[in-house]
Amino acid sequence: MTQEPRTRLRPFEGLVVLATLAAGLAVLFGPALQEGLPRVSGDIFDGRIFIAVLEHWYGVLQGQNPPLSPRYFYPNAFTLSYGDALLAGGLIYSVPRAAGLDPFVSLEVTNAVVCAIGFVATYLVGRRLLGVSVLLALFAALVGLWSNSLSIRLMHAQLVFTAFVPVGLLLVWPHFLKLTRSGGRSPSGGGAIVLSVAVVAFFYLWAMTSFYSLFAFVLLMLVVLVAAILLDRALCDRVWKAIRRPSPALIVLVAGLALAAIAVFWLYSQSGHGGHSVSSMKAGTRLPAELFNVGSSNWVWGGVMDRIMRPLGGNPADPYGLSPVLLVAFLASLIWLLRLFHRRHKAAAGRATEPDVSRATLACALGIGAVVLALFALRFGPMAPFQPVFVGVPGASAIRLPVRFLLFIVPVVALVTAYAFDLFARRGRAASVVVAIVALVILVEQGHSESALRTDRHAEQAFLDSLGKPPAECRSFYVFNPRIGPTDNDAVNRYYAHGVDAMIIGSYLRIPSINGMATFWPENWNVTAPFEPDYLDRVADYAERKGIADGICGLDLTERRWVIGAPQ
């Protein structure tokens, strides 16, 4: 099974891709832009946490912030390790901020740019690696852009970095073939070494941006590479030869990835936490029925989703699943492709070994990888397939919500489905019509009425502007008298109501706060629960213990006034 000639992106094709991307982004962001962008991605808590971290990187590029210690949880160092570091997002975000846009508009620009990267990368994987037609490559890219679950989950904007999954495929798979000399490719020369360095740099950037999605991608690619080796015996031989006699490019790749991993794990180890518990991880998985849970707001399935999910134990208010027609089309495509692959393999038995790895091998391996990653997102009774990985793999205990793996496989599912559609459509006009109808239904069923734009941009910017500059005596600050709450949600009252305000204020005004909110917290940090009567006593005690009582100020969030000195 030979590899088809590599598809080149012609100028007219490039224009078609850009026009489709513009239309796709218009569907995703257009309604909000028409209204003047009154709201931006995320709720008032998670959305502004995301902005606080992005604003930190903007300050780093301006030379005003230490790179690994954002201006919250002061005076603790390396507090970037308490959550996703968002480095790539910060680099993009800094461009519109430097152009004078406010943090909230800059957030949406960042989201749109990352979505565009994912769209183009998905298209290129479809065309260059899988060789599908222009229309079906665009179909896969649009599914990734409009995916029901992903677009709803933009309220957790770090999940937009699912867009890096197809980028990783574009880098890793061709380099893997080159390193194993598949199809006569030679890993010798400076080009292969440069590509190894590029892969290492991209993985480090990704790890410093969204560890969740990178971890999922690494799991996916490990399964994909193993599946490809098992499917293609000749590839297995070449891999073994490459390991026994490693090329300089392979040595650079392995050494570089090891150094990058050490740097990343060193940073995240600074949080001082061993990760989440097994019970919390299991709570972050879902029942098998939720594989197709698209929520009650879906245009096509919303009317029946509640009646389907409730009896099966699913929650239609918490959709992570793939749309039903897409899920069925993907599973049918994978089964068909594996059968087709097996038949061709038997027919080729006894012939001379061909020099290259087929696109069918990649498509089948990607499908198998997506299925395995989906299984890791589920639980079956008390059993969670992800548990052995969670317990035994370094860094896996940081994954509290394996259900998010269902979001990260969306581009892969779309690409495998597009590849099968492309093969089937070649059978004639009737087959092409069937493919067109099913593809159109899949695109339509991504539509929903739920909005991820939940943060009032104008109100939040007005709040930041109303604070003015901190007094010159203030070298750090704490917050009190929260403007939000108390509510009937204990987590909001104890952690979010004041902590998120402190994060975004500190990052925006470039003054460190002892408060904050993240996945993990500093050791012996107890400035939570601002509605409790002993809150100010705990603030004073913390400032004294940390040696920052001299120069600390308070910020009344409701009255929006600064108070010089520690609480008395």
Residues 109 and 256 in one domain: yes
Q: Which of 390, 416, 444 corresponds to the end of one domain?
A: 444
The count of other CB atoms within 10 Å of the CB of residue 13 is 16
For residues 113 and 141, membership in a common domain is answered with yes
Looking at the predicted structure, is the pLDDT value of residue 301 above 60? yes
- Domain end, chosen from 382, 414, 444, is at 444
Position 53 in a domain = no
Q: Do the domain assignments include residue 353?
A: yes
Same domain for 415 and 538: no
In a domain, 461, yes or no: yes
Statement to judge: residues 420 and 465 lie in one domain: no
Going from the C-alpha of 84 to that of each of 158, 159, 216, 399, 564, the distances in angstroms are 8, 10, 14, 11, 33
- Residues 438 and 482 occupy one common structural domain: no
Same structural domain, 170 and 26: yes
Shared-domain flag, residues 400 and 507: no
Q: How far apart are alpha carbons 410 and 408 in whole angstroms?
A: 6
Residues 420 and 460 in one domain: no
Q: CA-CA-CA-CA torsion for 439, 445, 447, 452, nearest 10 degrees?
A: -110
Q: Are 210 and 161 within 8 A, CB to CB?
A: yes
Q: Is 455 helix (H, G, I), strand (E, B) or coil?
A: strand
Cβ–Cβ under 8 Å, residues 513 and 479:
yes
pLDDT tens-place string over residues 232-265:
888 898 999 999 999 999 999 999 999 999 999 9
Query: pLDDT tens digits, residue range 137-172?
Result: 999 999 999 999 999 888 888 899 999 999 999 999
- Asked whether residue 60 is assigned to any structural domain, the reply reads no
Both 462 and 489 in one domain: the answer is yes
The total of structural domains in the chain comes to 2
Examine residue 51 and state whether it is found in any structural domain, yes or no: no
Flag whether pLDDT at 2 surpasses 60. Answer: no
What DSSP letter does each residue of 280-348 carry, written as one string?
HHHHTSB-GGGGG---TTBTTTHHHHHHHHHHHT--TTS--SPPHHHHHHHHHHHHHHHHHHHHHHHHT
Examine residue 108 and state whether it is found in any structural domain, yes or no: yes
Whole domain around residue 227: which residue ranges? 11-36+83-296+305-426+434-444
Residue 59 lies in a domain: no
Task: State yes or no: cis peptide before 187, omega within 30 of 0.
Answer: no
Which of 520, 506, 441, 448 lies closest to 475 in space, CA to CA? 506
Confidence of residue 352 (pLDDT cuts 50, 70, 90): very low
Whether residue 1 lies inside any domain: the answer is: no
* 175 and 144 together in one domain: yes
Q: What is the pLDDT of residues 100-140, one digit of tens each?
A: 999 999 999 999 999 999 999 999 999 999 999 999 999 99
pLDDT digits (tens, 9 = 90+) for 191-246: 889 999 999 999 999 999 999 899 999 999 999 999 999 998 888 989 999 999 99
Q: What angle do CA 527, 533, 537 make, to 5 degrees?
A: 50
Residue 386 pLDDT: 97
Q: Rounded to 5 degrees, what are φ and ψ at 556?
A: -80, 110
Q: 439 and 470: one domain?
A: no
Residue environment code for 244-281, b if the CB has 16+ CB neighbours within 10 A, otherwise e: eeebebbebbeebeeebbeebeebbebbebebbeeeeb
Region 382-386 average pLDDT? 95
Q: Based on the domain organization, do 391 and 490 belong to the same domain?
A: no
